[in-house]
């Protein structure tokens, strides 16, 4: 594992060369330029990370390099793979190139594979697209490939259908298809975005190993600065369809020159880690990025002793939830207990399937637990009348993950926000209601005039703030936020989290904050509970639990989360791999 | 209409451009761009004018028989000739069209209303209520409407309102499945969950969220349902269950003309046949265009 | 879900549907003027005969008890006696059903064989002239009453061009039916037309949906040509939802057969039903309804099972 591949003069021809590439999409109502004047090169054996937020055009560049853009795209400029022009090439030419010289790994392993075709067959298809080999020979190669990408029992697994594999394993299959013909260039479009952090680390390890073994050039498209720090040699930053900055990973991530790059990096929540060689003290990450705000220390929340007293606003006691019956029953929660005290923030973290969202839904009364008790503001929900329960619910505010699905597209923003008032304060006049709605919109830093707009006209960040306004309009004592910023870009995430923090200081509500993002939880929650497989792995004050975890699982979780500093991340990766090698034999996905 | 494209703040990571323009206007524009759908709209408009305003211009006697001039071929005073009892065929086409259109429209709407109530209840209630209600729908689908209609015709001869009722009662099953599916997905939308979590009532969830969001599905379903109902009206007359003479509808004219067809009286079958095909085709084309415009899935 | 437990659940559901159908038919039987007694004894029966019959058959008992009697009869294969043809309904249906099946199965097969490639072709050529033409033709086929279509077919291909006979095969046995294949052409075409229309639309929609799936992009990224992607991946994936719809199409096929048989004078169950309706032969009418409902239930059951065979995800209960 070489830590440095310095950019000395390299004789090799670039495997990918983009020259003044432009892409315009023709939509129903307009011509939308997605990429403008992008020029870049990837040389054999190097990894170029193309980073940017959604809408920056980075995925469009990747697809353009494969000649896979949809029919409504118009491409200008030049894109060449191994000296062959992609722009304007016919389908026969492109299909000769695709899968052999250049291949691609996609974001969504759940949908990237044909659901009705066995995985072995899908791999052999890629081989036989380019090599005239017998079916038996190709099948043998497919098994080899599955072994190379770390699928256990590859002979047996080759006969599996995609749905029989986990997300991580499916991504390994997609990678196996991509490397089947030893391509000179591998394009990976957000290859780990849909995966849990521990799986992400494994997939990145795999990609790095494969690229190093074969000298393949990699174009890595991602929004995640941690992944960039972990993987890339060079970085190119895109913003609104243009390339704004490029350079070595150290230069761009530690000494950014462009204003946008600085803002972007400043907005990335940084996981504070105890460094390997410095195990005793919490070492605030990093040299601060010059010219930007230094990262803040974790918030000291609930300083007033009063905040910790009184009955908890929410208490789950030994709660279990089972979905389904009989042999197919899934235990989503298993004896989970936690409290949220007045005014404090409890972070629930865990990977997918850990039960964190189920726990939030139990707290919201949307799922009735099979065992255990749920108390809201000191009242046991199971032993209260429906009417009393509804009154209690007036004290809850809810923000869910999906900015699109959270607001009814048929209502105006004002109607969305006013809905809790219509449910619980029916005595209000239309005028008073409008007043309250506009006030709360202002509180979440949205213009009052937005009340008359349709949610469809708003951006994702604005929508989540509207959701927040709706959650806060009744001045609740508890805010339940289930991944409120996961669908947002980091810069937008930052501003939404800031608004929540400020309003919490001002209004003093407690918060149950569900997230998969350790860094966000670390900055946001005072206490944290780590869930795994429906059980609470450990819980405690954020500072201790996330810096000096007690359980092996939490340690692995933390080690797997990449930090956006190439130097620190390289050291952590080395340590993690060493721990892995020492600890266990290869365990698969 | 402005496509609001805000690259810096759009959710997700996919950066193909998205549009969030006002839904209805976008839908209208998409619809108008669908040439088949627009043609369908014109055809429907033409036939409505033809049947309801036509008699004002081309007035004929459709109550008295005129046995001295039966089965006349098209000519100056009878543009489409006359039928077996001497009625002017063009006038009859207008007269029968009224019945076909009114019954088809009313039955189609009735079927959608029944289907919506049934499907929405099943979908929202869920659990065993849903299971029982949907088995009833399966049972209904298992018995072909034509057979039920024939049994009914063997028992009784209904009037116009009765016919609408019967046609509505045999054709609500497909829309009920459609609406159930829609309700199932809507009731688990985040905004409905949020409402429930803060103590909102079921009534509010249904009236304020689920029904308004089903409107486009409903409009599309109704359009297809009307097409099917007009077709069904034509079958009903063929089965001898239709409106009784001297009243008639296109189906009645067509089946009355069937025997005459072998005698070469083409003007007795082609006009009503083509009228049925055109109108049903038109409603189908409109429904298809609306579905694409609203982006509604599935036609049952 | 394992295959046995799936089958058990699915069969239980089907049984529930059958029970509901029998309740409907039972209800219709009692809605008849004079009730089932008249239905069984015939229109000439006197009031005393009816009263005696009612007593003997337990028809003066409460309705639920009578329903159980009725079910018991059904379980013994007793569908009552036709009072115009003077024969057990079950035997009449037994004789006629195979002929109707020949007609419907042939129509369905030919319809599907045309509809599936047409739908795929349309999807690939979406919004091109071909697509518009086929769409327009499908809508026309769908919008034409079967009896009108049949008439036109006879006029054109039997009167004007003497290619096919205007009557369907008249033979009693299936062998006789197949001995006149030319006579089957027009009825089968009339029955298949709307099938082609409906299923080419389904196939078009399913193909379009699959063409925009991620796996298509993955396959192309692996160097597959468009044709190969269609053949190897899109086709199978698009077929599954179409198969699921087939079960629900069984009653429509029988409805079509009803008209086609009458039009071409084909002595199948549709014609039996038709003449029974003219003569108010209620036992025959209701017996036919019951048999067709059963056929539909079996059809949907088969469609579900076939779908499980094609789509491994359904087997796992995840789709």
Best CA proximity match to A350, nearest among A521, A200, A547:
A521
Tokens of C192: 């298949």
Are B277 and C144 within 8 A, CB to CB? yes
Report the largest interatomic distance among the alpha carbons of chain B, rounded to a whole angstrom: 81
A163 → closest Cβ in C222, C223, C313: C313
Q: Which of A15-29, C17-31, C259-273 has the least mean pLDDT?
A: C17-31
Tell me how far CA of residue B77 lies from CA of A267, B84, B91, C10, C242, in angstroms.
Answer: 84, 17, 11, 64, 52
- CATH classification at residue C227: 1.10.3720.10
Best CA proximity match to A9, nearest among A47, A49, A48, A43:
A43
Q: Answer with the residue of higher pLDDT: A514 or A281.
A: A514
- Span A220-259, pLDDT tens digits: 999 999 999 998 999 999 999 999 999 999 999 999 999 9
Q: Is A242 helix (H, G, I), strand (E, B) or coil?
A: strand
- Span A78-117, pLDDT tens digits: 999 988 898 888 888 899 999 999 999 998 888 899 998 9
Are B235 and C31 within 8 A, CB to CB? no
Identify how many contiguous H helices and E strands chain A contains and give both numbers. Answer: 21, 20
Contacts of the segment C254-257: beta carbons below 8 A, 24+ positions apart:
C254/B144, C254/B147, C254/C100, C254/C104, C254/C292, C254/C295, C254/C296, C255/B144, C255/B145, C255/B146, C255/B147, C256/C104, C256/C107, C256/C146, C256/C190, C256/C191, C256/C194, C257/C100, C257/C103, C257/C104, C257/C107, C257/C191
The helix (H) or strand (E) run that includes residue A537 is: strand A535-541
Q: How confident is the model at residue C1 (pLDDT cuts 50, 70, 90)?
A: low
pTM given for the model: 0.83
Tokens of A75: 């491409």
- Span A137-182, pLDDT tens digits: 999 999 999 998 989 899 999 999 998 888 889 999 999 999 999 9
Sequence-ordered list of residues with C-beta below 8 angstroms from that of B103, at least 6 positions apart, any chain: B160, B163, B164, B167, B229, B230, B233, B249
Rounded Cα gap, residues C260 and C254, in angstroms: 10
Residue A283 backbone phi and psi in degrees, to 5: -105, 110
pLDDT at A292 over 70: no
C44: number of Cβ within 10 Å: 8
Are C223 and A97 within 8 A, CB to CB? yes
Residue C292 at interface with chain B, using a CB cutoff of 8 Å: yes
- Span B5-18, pLDDT tens digits: 222 222 333 333 33
Best CA proximity match to A538, nearest among A336, A302, A282, A269:
A336
Can you tell me the mean pLDDT for A191-195? 87
Residue in B1, B3, B15 to test binding to A, most A beta-carbons within 10 Å: B15
Query: Is residue C262 included in any domain, yes or no?
Result: yes
Angle in degrees, CA A551, A352, A490, rounded to 5? 95
Q: Which residue of A has its CA nearest to B13?
A: A54
For B45-298, give the CATH class. mainly alpha
Place of tokens 């089903």: B214
Rounded Cα gap, residues A589 and A172, in angstroms: 9
- Looking at beta carbons, which residues of chain B come within 8 Å of A223? 13
Rounded Cα gap, residues C313 and A193, in angstroms: 25
Residue in A38, A59, A408 to test binding to B, most B beta-carbons within 10 Å: A408
Residue B180 backbone phi and psi in degrees, to 5: -60, -45
Q: Which of A541-550, B164-173, C74-83, C257-266 has the least mean pLDDT?
A: C74-83
Provide the β-strand partners of residue A123: none
Tokens of C156: 């054109």
Place of tokens 């880690």: A273
Tell me how far CA of residue C102 lies from CA of B47, B164, C150, C249, in angstroms.
Answer: 40, 34, 18, 16
Mean pLDDT (chain A, rounded) = 86
Is the ipTM value over 0.90, yes or no? no
Rounded Cα gap, residues C57 and B6, in angstroms: 78
Rounded Cα gap, residues A97 and A103, in angstroms: 8
Contact between B280 and C142 under an 8 Å Cβ cutoff? The reply is: yes
pLDDT at A420 over 90: yes
Tell me how far CA of residue A47 lies from CA of A16, A207, A513, B14, in angstroms.
Answer: 11, 10, 36, 21
Rounded Cα gap, residues A273 and A296, in angstroms: 14
pLDDT, residue B9, reads 28
pLDDT at A300 over 70: no
Are B16 and A470 within 8 A, CB to CB? no
E-assigned strand segments in A205-329: 217-222, 234-239, 242-248, 314-323
Percent of chain A predicted with pLDDT > 70: 90
Q: Answer with the residue of higher pLDDT: C71 or A102.
A: A102
Domain hosting C259: range is 96-279
pLDDT, residue A386, reads 83
Tokens of B190: 């985040």
- Looking at beta carbons, which residues of chain C come within 8 Å of B36? 132, 135-136, 139
Query: Is residue C236 included in any domain, yes or no?
Result: yes
Are C135 and B251 within 8 A, CB to CB? no
Are A107 and B20 within 8 A, CB to CB? no
Best CA proximity match to C291, nearest among C27, C56, C22:
C22
Q: How confident is the model at residue C290 (pLDDT cuts 50, 70, 90)?
A: confident
- Looking at beta carbons, which residues of chain C come within 8 Å of A181? 223
Q: How confident is the model at residue A397 (pLDDT cuts 50, 70, 90)?
A: very high
pLDDT at C160 over 90: no
Can you tell me the mean pLDDT for B257-266? 74
Contact between B192 and B208 under an 8 Å Cβ cutoff? The reply is: no
Contact between A200 and A231 under an 8 Å Cβ cutoff? The reply is: no
Q: Which of A58-67, A364-373, B286-295 has the least mean pLDDT?
A: B286-295
Q: How confident is the model at residue C32 (pLDDT cuts 50, 70, 90)?
A: low
**How many domains is chain C partitioned into structurally?**
1
Instruction: Please return the burial class of A207, using the count of CB atoms within 10 Å of its CB with bins 0-12, 13-18 and 19+.
Output: buried
Rounded Cα gap, residues B176 and C162, in angstroms: 46
Mean pLDDT (chain B, rounded) = 80
Angle in degrees, CA A547, A549, A555, rounded to 5? 95
Preceding omega of B246 cis (within 30 degrees of 0): yes
pLDDT at B245 over 80: no
CA distance C146 to chain A (A): 38
CA distance A222 to chain B (A): 9
- Which C-chain residues 209-248 have CB contacts (< 8 A) with chain A? 213-215, 217-226, 228, 232-233, 236-237, 240
Are C214 and A108 within 8 A, CB to CB? yes
- DSSP states along C72-94: HHHHTT---B-TTT-SBHHHHHH
pLDDT, residue A301, reads 44
Report the side by side order of strands in the sheet with A185-189: A102-105, A185-189, A217-222, A47-51, A234-239, A242-248
Sequence-ordered list of residues with C-beta below 8 angstroms from that of A399, at least 6 positions apart, any chain: A406, A464, A467, A468, A471, A479, A480, A481, A482, A484
Contact between A110 and A165 under an 8 Å Cβ cutoff? The reply is: no
Are B199 and A391 within 8 A, CB to CB? yes
Sequence-ordered list of residues with C-beta below 8 angstroms from that of A210, at least 6 positions apart, any chain: A148, A149, A175, A179, A186, A216
Q: Answer with the residue of higher pLDDT: B265 or A493.
A: A493
Can you tell me the mean pLDDT for B163-192? 90
Query: Is residue C61 included in any domain, yes or no?
Result: no
Sequence-ordered list of residues with C-beta below 8 angstroms from that of A317, at least 6 positions apart, any chain: A337, A372, A373, A374, A375
Tokens of C84: 């115009």
From its phi and psi, is residue B73 left (phi > 0), alpha (psi between -120 and 50) or beta? beta
pLDDT at A282 over 50: no
Q: How confident is the model at residue B29 (pLDDT cuts 50, 70, 90)?
A: confident
Best CA proximity match to C187, nearest among C96, C274, C103:
C103
Q: Answer with the residue of higher pLDDT: B83 or A507.
A: A507
Can you tell me the mean pLDDT for B101-107? 92
Compute CA C234 distance to the chain's CA centroid, rounded to the nearest angstrom.
Answer: 28
Contact between C178 and C288 under an 8 Å Cβ cutoff? The reply is: no
Rounded Cα gap, residues C135 and C141, in angstroms: 10
Q: Where are the domains of chain B?
A: 45-298
Residue in C5, C208, C221 to test binding to A, most A beta-carbons within 10 Å: C221
A418: number of Cβ within 10 Å: 24
């Amino acid at each position: 594992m070489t830590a440095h591949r310095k950019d000395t003069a390299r004789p090799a021809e670039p495997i990918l060369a983009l020259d003044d590439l432009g892409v315009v999409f023709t939509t129903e109502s307009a011509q939308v330029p997605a990429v403008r004047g992008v020029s870049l090169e990837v040389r054999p054996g190097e990894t170029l990370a193309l980073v940017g937020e959604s809408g920056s055009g980075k995925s469009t560049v990747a697809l353009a390099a494969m000649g896979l853009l949809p029919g409504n795209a118009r491409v200008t400029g030049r894109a060449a793979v191994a000296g062959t022009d992609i722009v304007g090439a016919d389908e026969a030419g492109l299909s000769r190139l695709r899968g052999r010289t250049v291949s691609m790994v996609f974001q969504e392993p759940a949908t990237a594979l044909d659901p009705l075709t066995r995985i072995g067959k899908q791999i052999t298809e890629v081989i036989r697209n380019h090599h005239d080999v017998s079916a038996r020979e190709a099948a043998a190669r497919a098994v080899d490939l599955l072994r190379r990408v770390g699928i256990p029992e590859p002979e047996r697994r080759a006969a599996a259908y995609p749905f029989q594999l986990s997300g991580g394993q499916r991504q390994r299959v997609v990678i196996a298809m991509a490397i089947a013909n030893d391509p000179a260039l591998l394009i990976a479009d957000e290859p780990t975005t849909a995966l849990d952090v521990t799986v992400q680390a494994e997939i990145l390890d795999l990609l790095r190993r494969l690229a190093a073994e074969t000298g393949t050039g990699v174009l890595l498209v991602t929004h995640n600065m941690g992944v960039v720090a972990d993987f890339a040699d060079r970085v190119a930053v895109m913003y609104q369809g243009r390339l704004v900055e490029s350079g070595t990973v150290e230069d761009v991530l530690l000494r950014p020159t462009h204003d946008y790059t600085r803002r972007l990096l400043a907005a990335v929540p940084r996981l504070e880690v105890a460094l390997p060689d410095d195990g005793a003290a919490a070492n605030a990450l990093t040299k601060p990025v010059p010219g930007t705000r230094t990262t803040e220390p974790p918030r000291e929340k609930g300083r007033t002793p009063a905040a910790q007293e009184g009955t908890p606003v929410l208490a789950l006691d030994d709660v279990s939830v089972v979905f389904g019956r009989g042999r197919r029953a899934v235990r989503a929660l298993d004896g989970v207990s936690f409290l949220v005290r007045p005014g404090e923030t409890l972070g629930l973290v865990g990977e997918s399937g850990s039960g964190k969202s189920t726990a939030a839904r139990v707290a919201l009364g949307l799922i009735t637990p099979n065992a255990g008790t749920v108390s809201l503001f000191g009242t046991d929900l199971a032993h209260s009348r429906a009417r009393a329960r509804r009154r209690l619910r007036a004290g809850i505010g809810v923000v869910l993950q999906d900015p699109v699905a959270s607001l009814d597209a048929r209502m105006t923003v004002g109607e969305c926000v006013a809905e809790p008032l219509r449910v619980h304060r029916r005595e209000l006049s239309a005028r008073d209601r409008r007043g309250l709605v506009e006030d709360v919109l202002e509180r979440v830093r949205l213009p009052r005039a937005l009340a008359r707009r349709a949610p469809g006209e708003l951006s994702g960040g604005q929508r989540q703030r509207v959701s927040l306004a709706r959650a806060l309009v009744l001045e609740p004592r508890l805010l339940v936020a289930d991944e409120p910023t996961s669908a947002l870009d980091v810069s937008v995430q930052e501003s939404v989290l800031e608004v929540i923090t400020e309003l919490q200081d001002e209004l003093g509500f407690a918060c149950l904050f569900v997230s998969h993002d350790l860094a966000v939880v670390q900055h946001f929650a005072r206490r944290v509970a780590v869930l795994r497989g429906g059980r609470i792995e450990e819980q405690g004050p954020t500072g201790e639990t996330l810096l000096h975890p007690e359980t092996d699982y939490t340690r692995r979780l933390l080690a797997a989360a990449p930090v956006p500093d190439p130097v620190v991340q390289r050291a952590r990766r080395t340590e993690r791999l060493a721990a892995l090698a020492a600890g266990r034999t290869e365990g698969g996905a | 209409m402005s496509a609001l494209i805000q690259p810096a703040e759009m959710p997700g990571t996919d950066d193909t451009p998205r549009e969030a323009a006002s839904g209805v206007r976008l839908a209208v524009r998409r619809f108008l761009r669908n040439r088949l759908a627009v043609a369908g709209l014109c055809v429907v408009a033409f036939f409505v004018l033809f049947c309801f305003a036509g008699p004002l211009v081309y007035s004929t006697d459709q109550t008295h028989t005129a046995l001295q001039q039966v089965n006349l071929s098209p000519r100056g005073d009878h543009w489409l000739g006359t039928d077996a009892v001497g009625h002017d065929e063009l006038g009859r086409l207008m007269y029968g069209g009224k019945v076909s259109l009114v019954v088809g429209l009313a039955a189609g709407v009735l079927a959608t209303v029944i289907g919506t109530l049934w499907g929405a209840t099943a979908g929202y209630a869920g659990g065993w209520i849903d299971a029982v209600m949907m088995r009833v729908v399966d049972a209904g689908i298992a018995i072909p409407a034509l057979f039920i209609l024939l049994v009914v015709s063997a028992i009784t001869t209904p009037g116009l309102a009765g016919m609408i009722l019967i046609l509505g009662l045999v054709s609500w099953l497909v829309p009920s499945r459609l609406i159930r599916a829609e309700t199932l997905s809507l009731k688990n939308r985040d905004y409905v969950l949020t409402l429930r979590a803060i103590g909102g009532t079921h009534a509010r969830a249904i009236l304020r969220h689920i029904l308004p969001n089903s409107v486009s599905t409903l409009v599309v379903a109704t359009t297809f349902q009307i097409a099917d109902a007009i077709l069904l009206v034509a079958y009903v007359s063929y089965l001898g269950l239709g409106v009784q003479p001297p009243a008639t509808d296109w189906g009645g004219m067509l089946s009355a003309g069937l025997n005459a067809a072998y005698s070469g009286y083409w003007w007795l079958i082609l006009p009503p046949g083509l009228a049925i095909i055109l109108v049903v085709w038109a409603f189908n084309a409109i429904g298809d265009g609306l579905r694409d415009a609203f982006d509604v899935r599935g036609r049952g | 879900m394992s295959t046995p437990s799936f089958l058990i659940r699915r069969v239980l559901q089907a049984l529930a549907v059958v029970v509901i159908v029998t309740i409907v038919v039972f209800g219709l039987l009692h809605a008849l003027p004079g009730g089932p007694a008249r239905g069984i004894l015939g229109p000439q029966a006197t009031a005393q005969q009816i009263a005696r019959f009612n007593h003997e058959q337990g028809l003066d008992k409460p309705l639920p008890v009578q329903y159980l009697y009725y079910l018991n009869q059904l379980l013994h294969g007793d569908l009552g006696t036709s009072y115009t043809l003077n024969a057990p309904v079950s035997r009449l249906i037994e004789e006629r059903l195979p002929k109707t099946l020949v007609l419907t199965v042939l129509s369905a097969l030919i319809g599907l064989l045309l509809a599936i490639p047409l739908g795929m072709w349309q999807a690939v050529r979406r919004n091109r002239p071909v697509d518009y033409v086929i769409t327009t033709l499908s809508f026309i086929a769908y919008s034409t009453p079967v009896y009108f279509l049949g008439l036109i077919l006879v006029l054109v291909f039997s009167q004007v061009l003497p290619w096919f006979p205007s009557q369907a095969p008249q033979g009693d046995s299936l062998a006789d039916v197949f001995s006149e294949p030319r006579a089957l052409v027009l009825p089968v075409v009339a029955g298949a037309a709307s099938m082609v229309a409906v299923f080419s639309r389904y196939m078009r929609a399913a193909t379009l949906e699959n063409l925009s799936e991620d796996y298509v992009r993955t396959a192309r990224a692996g160097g597959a040509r468009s044709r190969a992607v269609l053949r190897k991946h899109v086709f199978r994936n698009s077929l599954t939802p179409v198969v699921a719809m087939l079960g629900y199409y069984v009653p429509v096929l029988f409805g079509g057969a009803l008209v086609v048989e009458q039009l071409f004078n084909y002595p199948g169950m549709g014609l039996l039903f038709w003449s029974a309706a003219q003569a108010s032969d209620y036992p025959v009418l209701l017996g036919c309804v019951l048999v067709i409902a059963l056929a539909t239930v079996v059809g949907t059951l088969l469609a579900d099972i076939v779908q499980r065979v094609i789509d491994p995800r359904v087997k796992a209960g995840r789709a």
